[in-house]
Structure 1
Amino acid sequence: MIEVHNIQKSFNGNPILRGISCTFETGKCNLLLGGSGTGKSVLLQCIVGLMKPDIGSITFDGTVFTNNKVDIKQEIRRKIGMLFQGGALFDSMTVYENTEFPLKMLTPEMTREERRDRVEFCLKRVGLENAGNKMPSEISGGMKKRVGIARAIAPNCTYLFCDEPNSGLDPATSIKIDELIHEITHEYGITTVVITHDMNSVVEIGDHIIFLHKGQKLWDGNKDEILNTTVPELKEFIFSSSLVRAAKKVDEETEGGLAAVVEEPLKETEEAPKTPNS
């Protein structure tokens, strides 16, 4: 569990984060939702220690991270996996070498054979067991994201941070990446934090959602609650999509939502009187 307490951050006197307090729950996909410029990336950088907040504190499973001793902060960082927006693979390394890289850096006690077993396991887990010898230039955008996930979980991370994991992907591939992140989170009990503005991701993997607007946390809940929000800024954000508006309308007009729309014609057909044969 990651706890954020009253985080404030300004640049040149311009407030970006305005006293944000929230909790990212263990074994769940925690989504940081909001439009561009709402402070999502700045908050993530403060959490992982790439940026120091002006005020506030952050704890990882009860251990204070902000302003703690260097060795304690380094120990926490070793438990963090990152999936970057563009994949951020090393162009001169193969898929295998990219996945192995954090093991060489963070777990020097591992033997070459142990690293090999771990890399092969992680690549197989993301469905790339036959792509180890390929270069990043030889694989698709979706495969690059999968390599990024394999690399992030290779050191047995406790905390996984994903910055816009679906950026630049087609809808079908985006869903597959969402599903993979969700599966790995639940399978290994990881505390996962996903930065997104994609409502498809919210519907697919939103175990816990935190909505940011102008540097403030305005709402938190889950994917089953978000469509019924009464927060004006959140309603404006989620219902900017015509698809979401249509889904909401169907849900309100039918007793069982979309399922009822599909099942009702079948029910009528089954109950319709049979005409006698002539």
Structure 2
Amino acid sequence: MIEIHNIHKTFGDKKVLDGIDGVFESGKMNMLLGASGTGKSVLLKCIVGLVKPDLGSITYDGRIFTNNKLDIRQEIRRKIGMLFQGSALFDSMNVNENVEFPLTMLTDMNRTERKKRVEFCLQRVGLENAGNLMPSELSGGMKKRVGIARAIAPHCTYLFCDEPNSGLDPLTAITIDELIKEITEEYDITTIVVTHDMNSVLEYGDNVMFLYKGKKLWEGHSSGIMDTRVKELNDFIFSNRLMRDAKKIEQIEENEQRDEDIRNGEV
């Protein structure tokens, strides 16, 4: 579990994060939702330690991360896996070497142990036969899978995903979402996903935090997000015709059910 309290961050005269609080549970898909420029990625970078907040605290399973001793922060960082928006694979390394890289940098595994771990991780993401391929030979979905394998290779406790569906077709996007969800639950990982994809949120969001202009305006399970009274969130959710039509259909069905209940004397 990761907890953040009163996180503030300013760049120059621009307030990017304005007092963000939240709890991200283990074994859950915790999603940071919002339009571009709302502070999602900056908050993610603060949580993983790439950006230092001006004010506030971050704890990992009760251990203070912000402003703690360097060795404590490094110990926590070794448990963090990161799936970057563009996968960020090393072009000069094949798939096996990409997945092995964090094991070489962050663990004391010997060559045999690293090889077995790489094989296991690639098998877990369905790429057991792709180890010798170069990144240039992979599709977008395969690159994401390699990125996930690399992220979980050092037995990560915390997984951060920055727009994991970016640039993928709808079917592949669903596959990647399902894979992240499965791994999160299977290994009881605390997963935080930065996204603006409402399909991902509605289908897989165990806990959703909506950011708007650096503030948290709503937080809850995805099952309640369609009924919110927060104007900015509604404007974001129903910004396209498909979502507006879905809302209308939902309201019609609710009205029909209410009328039937009245006729049956249940109301």
TM surpasses 0.5: yes
- Asked whether 1:91 is paired with 2:95, we answer no
Match for 1:12: what amino acid? G
Give the whole-Å Cα distance in 2 for the aligned partners of 1:256 and 1:148.
Answer: 46
- Whether the aligned pair in 2 keeps the contact of 1:179 and 1:204 (CA below 8 Å) is no
- 1:132-152 residue CA offsets vs partner (Å, 9 max, x unmatched): 000000010110000000000
What is residue 231 of structure 2 aligned with on the other side? 232
Match for 2:168: what amino acid? L
What is residue 32 of structure 1 aligned with on the other side? 32
Scaled by the length of structure 1, the TM-score of the pair is 0.90
- 1:13-32 residue CA offsets vs partner (Å, 9 max, x unmatched): 21110011111111100000
What is residue 143 of structure 1 aligned with on the other side? 142
SS at match of 1:166: coil
Residues 1-278 of structure 1 correspond to what in structure 2 (within 5 A)? 1-107=1-107, 109-254=108-253
Give the whole-Å Cα distance in 1 for the aligned partners of 2:112 and 2:240.
Answer: 50
Give the whole-Å Cα distance in 2 for the aligned partners of 1:245 and 1:187.
Answer: 35
SS at match of 2:7: strand
Match for 1:21: what amino acid? D
Give the whole-Å Cα distance in 2 for the aligned partners of 1:180 and 1:73.
Answer: 28
What is residue 263 of structure 1 aligned with on the other side? none
Structure 1: stretches of 5+ with no match in the other structure: 261-278
Structure 1, 240-249 or 178-187: larger mean CA deviation: 240-249
Shift of 1:74: 0.2
Shift of 1:256: 11
Match for 2:172: what amino acid? T
Match for 1:54: what amino acid? D
SS at match of 1:254: helix
Shift of 1:248: 1.9
- 1:69-105 residue CA offsets vs partner (Å, 9 max, x unmatched): 0000000000000000000000000001100100000
Could you list the runs of 4 or more consecutive aligned residues of structure 1 that deviate by over 4 angstroms after TM superposition?
none
- The 1:112/1:226 distance shift into structure 2, 3 A limit, reads same
Shift of 1:253: 1.8
Match for 2:115: what amino acid? R
Q: How many residues align?
A: 257
SS at match of 2:223: coil
Give the whole-Å Cα distance in 2 for the aligned partners of 1:111 and 1:55.
Answer: 41
- The 1:256/1:133 distance shift into structure 2, 3 A limit, reads farther
Give the whole-Å Cα distance in 1 for the aligned partners of 2:21 and 2:33.
Answer: 15
Match for 1:191: what amino acid? T
Shift of 1:207: 0.7
Larger radius of gyration: 1
The Cα RMSD (Å) is 1.4
- Whether the aligned pair in 2 keeps the contact of 1:31 and 1:195 (CA below 8 Å) is yes
Match for 1:47: what amino acid? I
Give the whole-Å Cα distance in 2 for the aligned partners of 1:255 and 1:6.
Answer: 39
- 1:51-72 residue CA offsets vs partner (Å, 9 max, x unmatched): 1100101000000000000000
Match for 1:45: what amino acid? K
SS at match of 1:6: strand
Give the whole-Å Cα distance in 2 for the aligned partners of 1:55 and 1:69.
Answer: 17
Shift of 1:111: 1.7
Give the whole-Å Cα distance in 1 for the aligned partners of 2:249 and 2:11.
Answer: 44
Give the whole-Å Cα distance in 1 for the aligned partners of 2:190 and 2:255.
Answer: 33
Match for 1:208: what amino acid? N
Shift of 1:254: 2.0
Match for 1:139: what amino acid? L
